[in-house]
Every structure is written in structure tokens, then in C-alpha cells.
Structure 1
Amino acid sequence: MPRSQKNDNFIDKTFTIVADILLRIIPTTQREKEAFTYYRDGMSAQSEGEYAEALQNYYEAMRLEIDPYDRSYILYNIGLIHTSNGEHAKALEYYFQALERNPSLPQAFNNMRGEQAIQQGDSETSEAWFNQAADYWRQAISLAPSNYIEAQNWLKITGRFK
């Protein structure tokens, strides 16, 4: 059973219903629909901390998705999972790939710069970049308070939640 059919959260269920309706209305190919379904299921799994399942869904979405802009968000989320797992070098690779496809993805840029500073042992610069990333996340969370659970946890753990 696809994850989208297992959601217990009201907001996830509502999002799934709206997304399914939009997929029927908006003229898209079957391939695009499948890619979006895998991406949506990946986001759901990621928000629940099911990183292995999220990665499987994201990799499948990457196999199907051809739009560079949409791919940038998939790559960014893969980078977030690697960051959460402490795999900073892998996370950097995915942030770079996301930015190659979408140079105006500020959260990927800031996370990438923060990760680079960590690897170079420059904690002051790292803090500045992560603080800027936190600003973007706080803005996103203010627009959708029940979303971005992973980011909210990161903000709380790092003392950046205001």
C-alpha cells in the first residue's frame, strides 16, 4: 500500500486528497504523476523520521522526474536526510546537485555553505550560514506551521527556534 494511503495525520490526508485532485485536473503525463507520488510519499516518510523509506521514494522520483526544478527539491531533501544522518560529505554532494538545477534555492545554498565550513573547521562561519538557513526555515514554518517537522526539530535542537 502506498504511503499516501496510510497517512493518519489530517493535514497529510488533506494534502494527499488535494494533490490527487490536482494531478487529475492539471494536464501531466503518467510519468510526471508517478514522480510526484513518489516525491510526496518521500516527504511523508521523511517527516516521520523514516529516512530509509524516504530515500527509496526520492530515488524512484529522481528516476522518473525530468524537470530540473522539480529534481532540485528532490535532491535537496536527499541532502537533508544525509545531514540528519551525520553524512556531511554526502549531504554536500546533494546540495550541490540541487543548486546546479535551481540556483535560487536559498536553503540548499545555506546548508551547503554551513556544511563546507564545518569540514574546514570554521565554526564561526558555519554558525552564520546555519543561522541564515534558520531564518528561511522560520519563514517557511510561519507560512505552514504543521509542515517541516524535520526543520522544526533542527531549529529546536540547535537553539534557533524563536
Structure 2
Amino acid sequence: MPRSQRNDNFIDKTFTVMADMILKMLPTNQKAKEAFAYYRDGMSAQADGEYAEALENYYEALTLEEDPYDRSFILYNIGLIHASNGEHEEALEYYHQSIELNPRMPQALNNIAVIYHYQGEKAKEAGDEEKAEQEFRKAAEYWIRAIQLAPNNYIEAQNWLKVTGRSKIDVYF
């Protein structure tokens, strides 16, 4: 049974009904509508912490979805799941694919930076200062790009960039 038919609470049921109505009225082909249904079920499963089910739905949506912008969000959500499972290399792959399709996605740029920063911290803890610096440099690059797209977001990253002297631009605050 599709997840959209299993939602138990009122808000989920209301969202599902509204999404189904919109989906029926959209002037798009059947394949795109099916892709959206899988994407919607993936988001619902992801919100419930059912990551394996979410991934199945996202992968199915990817096989059907042709629009690059929509595919970028599917890839981004797959990256989120891998990141939350501690699979950072896989998450980076999906975030990078997402950005290739949609370069104006600050949340993917931010998440890439977060992973690089985390890897930099781990390298620093291990005493590998050179590797740490490489990772911090990459984190700064992606945070700067994210902040340029969304200047009112990522305040902690903005502070880190300023405090560490890693940014010369002053688009912050």
C-alpha cells in the first residue's frame, strides 16, 4: 500500500488530499505525476525516520523524473539521508549531483560545507593539520557560496568565516 494511503494523523491526511488534488490538476505528463507521488512518499517516510523506505521512493522518483530542477531536490534528500546515517562520502556525492543540476541550492552548499568542516575537525583531532586545513578551506569555499545565495542564513558559518579570517568578502549581517 502506498504511504500516501497510510497516513494516520489529520495533518498528513490533509496534506495528502491537497497534494493529490494538485497532482491531478497539474498540466503535466503521467510520468512526472508518478515521480512526484514517489517523491512525496519519500518525504513522508523520511519525516517518519523510515530511511530505507524513503530511499526506495526517492530512487524510484529519480528513474521517472526528467526535470533537472526537480531531480536536484530528490538528490538533495538522498544526500540528507546518507548524511544523517553518517555516510558522509555518499552524502557528498548526492549533494554535488544536486548542485550540478541546481547551482542555486544554498542548503546543499551548506551541507557540503558542514561535512568538510566536520572532516577538518576530525583531522585536527588526529593531529593531521595539513589535512584539517584542506578540509577547512573546502568548507569555507562552500559556505561562502551558500551565504552569497542566502545572506541572511548560516549565521554560525558567517561567524566562523570571520573569526578564522577565511573570508574577505563582507556580505554578512
TM-score scaled by structure 2?
A: 0.70
Cα shift at 1:117: 2.6
Q: Any runs of at least 4 consecutive aligned residues in structure 1 with deviations exceeding 3 A, and if so which? A: 120-129
Mapping of residues 65-84 of structure 1, within 5 Å: 65-84=65-84
Gaps of 5+ in 1: 138-162
Matches within 5 A, 1:81-120: 81-120=81-120
Query: Are 1:27 and 2:27 counterparts?
Result: yes
Write the letter of the residue equivalent to 2:15.
F
Provide the rounded CA distance (Å) in 2 between the counterparts of 1:39 and 1:136.
Answer: 26
Secondary structure class of the residue paired with 2:49: coil
Any gaps of 5 or more consecutive residues in structure 2? 124-131, 155-173
Q: Which secondary structure does the structure 2 equivalent of 1:8 belong to?
A: coil
Larger-gyration structure (1/2): 2
> Which one is further off, 112-121 or 65-74?
112-121
Q: How many percent of aligned residue pairs carry the same amino acid?
A: 64
Contact 1:92 1:116 in 2 (8 A): no
The answer to whether the aligner puts 1:52 opposite 2:58 as a matched pair is no
Deviation string, structure 1 residues 118-137 (Cα, Å, up to 9, x no partner): 234349956995xx79x759
Classify 1:36/1:136 alpha carbon distance in 2 versus 1 (closer, same or farther; 3 Å): farther
Q: In angstroms, what is the RMSD of aligned CA positions?
A: 2.5
| In structure 1, C-alpha distance between the alignment counterparts of 2:67 and 2:117, rounded to whole Å | 31
> Which TM-score applies when normalising by structure 1?
0.75
Residue deviations 1:20-67, cap 9 Å, x none? 111111211110110000000000000000000000000000000000
Q: Give the length in aligned residue pairs.
A: 134
Bigger relative contact order, structure 1 or 2, given CA contacts below 8 A and separation 6+?
1
SS at match of 1:58: helix
Counterpart-to-counterpart distance in 1, 2:83 and 2:7: 25
SS of residue matched to 1:28: coil
Distance 1:17 1:100 in 2: 33
